């Protein structure tokens, strides 16, 4: 006895670009679904309204469709999606005006044309937003990029200042005090590079890349570059003085503890020894660095007075000559004011880091 061939119940809905068909058959395996000459052919063994039988149907579409239907099997039905060749609304599904008896609207997915247009616009807006987010990067991606950027910046600075520190140390042990007098000509290029790159640190604080306050970073950047570029860089007489060694050595000694601490912070690592050094070594090194800078400024005053460099005369009616040494004296006052601001900032950082632990011990 031949298996009875029946037509299943089929429900349909549409959007501007797709057609959706839901075939009410359960327990379907390997259905034959194809489109040829704009006609959908369906045949499958399954459990439908007439029990377990072979069910089939054919639908000639109202307008052109793409010949590659997609389908998905569930335990209770077969869902078919057909792509329209043109993006527009159809007045009905089939070419014949009379609707086949087995075909009915799928009210679960049914939308009228205006609602479908709103859904289409919402999907398009969602797609554009997704593309915008991908182009801008997700918050996690931006965080990782920021951490990578800060890690590389601190690594470069660490390598630069470590080279200066090791160079000065080795030369001192080999040459003794004689190494003091050619410090500038030995390491000045690297110091120029590191101190110019330090501008990035101030900008990071200013634009919010880091949580550091802007003022301490700006004071250190301006102060060091004033000494490096104006006091040392413009006067050859200053470049051969021993004070250059002590200025450069104190700067580099501070930074070889600071930058590796920041590097490890970028990758969420906390090395207790390094952390303690970061929050402790500034206590002797910052005053020593400030003192050596003050000595350099004091030694440079007669040199600038003798050369007259950067001195100028005020216009009529004052016609007063202003020596650069006046600005050096003002800088001396600002130097110790800056030391107070930075010292206060670093002290607060250290107290936040270790002060609470001490309280818990009592």
Cβ atoms of residues 249 and 234 within 8 Å: no
Catalogue the E-assigned strands of 187-266: none
Listed residue (102, 70, 100, 77) closest to 24, CA to CA:
77
Which positions are catalytic?
286, 293
Listed residue (252, 16, 186) closest to 116, CA to CA:
16
Cβ atoms of residues 331 and 345 within 8 Å: no
Whole-Å CA distances, 71 to 8, 32, 36, 234, 294: 16, 10, 16, 79, 82
Distance between CA atoms of 263 and 57, rounded to whole angstroms?
69
Listed residue (3, 21, 2) closest to 11, CA to CA:
21
Per-residue exposure over 59-96, b if at least 16 CB sit within 10 Å of its own CB, e if not: bebbeebeeebebebeeebbebebebeeeeeeeebbee
Work out the angle at residue 183's Cα, subtended by the Cα atoms of residues 177 and 186, and round it to the nearest 5 degrees: 130
């Amino acid at each position: 006895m031949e298996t009875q061939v029946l037509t299943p119940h089929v429900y349909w809905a549409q959007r501007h670009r797709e057609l959706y068909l839901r075939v009410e058959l359960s327990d379907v395996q390997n259905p034959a679904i194809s489109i040829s000459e704009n006609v959908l052919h369906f045949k499958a063994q399954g459990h439908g309204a007439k029990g377990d039988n072979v069910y089939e149907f054919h639908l000639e579409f109202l307008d052109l469709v793409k010949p590659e239907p997609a389908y998905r099997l569930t335990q209770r039905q077969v869902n078919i999606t057909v792509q329209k060749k043109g993006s527009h609304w159809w007045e009905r599904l089939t070419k014949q005006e009379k609707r086949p008896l087995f075909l009915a609207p799928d009210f679960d997915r049914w939308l009228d044309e205006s609602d479908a247009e709103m859904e289409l616009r919402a999907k398009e807006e969602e797609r554009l937003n997704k593309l915008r987010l991908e182009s801008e990067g997700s918050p996690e991606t931006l965080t990782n990029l920021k951490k990578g950027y800060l890690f590389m910046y601190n690594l470069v600075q660490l390598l630069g200042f470590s080279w200066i520190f090791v160079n000065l140390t080795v030369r001192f042990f080999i040459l003794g005090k004689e190494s003091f007098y050619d410090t500038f000509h030995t390491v000045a290029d690297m110091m120029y590079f590191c101190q110019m790159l330090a501008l990035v640190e101030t900008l990071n604080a200013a634009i919010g890349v880091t949580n550091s306050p802007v003022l301490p970073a700006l004071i250190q950047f301006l102060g060091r570059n004033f000494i490096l570029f104006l006091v040392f860089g413009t006067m050859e007489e200053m470049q051969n003085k021993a004070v250059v060694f002590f200025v450069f050595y104190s700067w580099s000694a501070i930074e070889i503890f600071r930058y590796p601490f920041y590097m490890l912070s970028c990758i969420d690592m906390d090395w207790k020894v390094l952390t303690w050094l970061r929050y402790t070594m500034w206590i002797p090194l910052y005053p020593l660095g400030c003192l050596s800078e003050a000595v350099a400024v004091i030694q440079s005053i007669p040199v600038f007075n003798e050369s007259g460099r950067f001195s100028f005369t005020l216009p009529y009616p004052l016609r007063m000559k202003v020596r650069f040494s006046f600005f050096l004296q003002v800088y001396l006052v600002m130097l110790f004011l800056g030391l107070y601001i930075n010292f206060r900032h670093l002290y607060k950082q250290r107290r936040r880091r270790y002060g609470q632990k001490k309280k818990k011990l009592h």
